[in-house]
Amino acid sequence: MNDISSTVVNEHSYECTITVDCAVFGFQDGVVKLLLVKRSVEPFKDKWMLPGGIMGPEDSLEEAVGKVLYNLTDIDNVHYEQLKVYSRVDRHPIKRVLTVAFYALVKPENHPVIAKKHVAEVNWFPLNDVPQLGFDHDEISKDAWRRLKTNVEEKFLFGELLPQQFTLKELQDLYESIMGQELDRRNFRKKILQSKLIRSTGVKKKGVKGGPELFEIIE
């Protein structure tokens, strides 16, 4: 978040800054990771947090989160889903701030990141190795992770976390990383194949020992 405020003011001159924050998840090296930025200004200077910033007076929420991600990390052209509104009175140490949180599922290799405005560093962190975050971003990131688990279990939504065609091992690795637990290989494959949510492409993955079969999600 930067400190150039856009505010909502009512008839009693009550001011509330509106911001957006985004939990960006990526699947890399067999684990799901969360994109974090290290803040270079106070408050919470040198603390890791979710990319976030103030909504401009001419922006929609979706436009604002797109601009924030690009201005802080250089990520552009990704799909976001709204997560939740956070309005606790003491969530910002200086002023009254309401934030609308979003989440996104991307392939890190498709979105190189660069530390930009008000950011000292930007990096991907495995979900089981996320440091303590500034503001209330620990709460937001955990809520986003819970939403990700729900979407995977109930709706089979992966965003860009999986390639269009994938092996069953890649799918199981993703499941285990999101759910935070190991799954029995035989039972997992039986359940997934019986779900009718994926289908075989009839193609083998090249460059991998044994030539595992490639699958795709049924739209």
Question: Does any domain span residue 146?
Answer: no
- DSSP state at residue 197: S
User: Residue 126 in contact with residue 33, Cβ under 8 Å?
Assistant: yes
Final residue in a domain of this structure, among 84, 111, 130: 130
Q: Which structural domain, as residue segments, surrounds residue 62?
A: 7-130
User: Residue 155 in contact with residue 131, Cβ under 8 Å?
Assistant: no
Q: What span, in angstroms and rounded, lies between the C-alpha atoms of 53 and 3?
A: 9
Q: What span, in angstroms and rounded, lies between the C-alpha atoms of 120 and 19?
A: 20
* Residue 4: per-residue pLDDT: 36
Question: Does any domain span residue 80?
Answer: yes
> Do residues 82 and 36 both lie within one domain?
yes
> Do residues 92 and 197 both lie within one domain?
no
Q: What span, in angstroms and rounded, lies between the C-alpha atoms of 99 and 21?
A: 7
Residue type, 115: A
Mean pLDDT of the chain: 88
* Residue 210: per-residue pLDDT: 66
* Residue 1: per-residue pLDDT: 41
* Residue 91: per-residue pLDDT: 86
| Beta carbons within 10 angstroms of residue 24's beta carbon | 25
Question: Does any domain span residue 81?
Answer: yes
> Do residues 101 and 46 both lie within one domain?
yes
Question: Does any domain span residue 94?
Answer: yes
- Encode pLDDT of 161-179 as tens digits: 988 899 999 999 999 999 8
Question: Does any domain span residue 136?
Answer: no
- DSSP state at residue 160: T
- Encode pLDDT of 105-147 as tens digits: 998 988 999 999 889 999 999 998 999 999 999 999 999 999 9
> Do residues 97 and 192 both lie within one domain?
no
Residue with tokens 């991307």: 106
Q: Which of the residues in the chain have pLDDT under 70?
A: 1-14, 207-210
What residues are paired with 84 via a beta bridge? 101
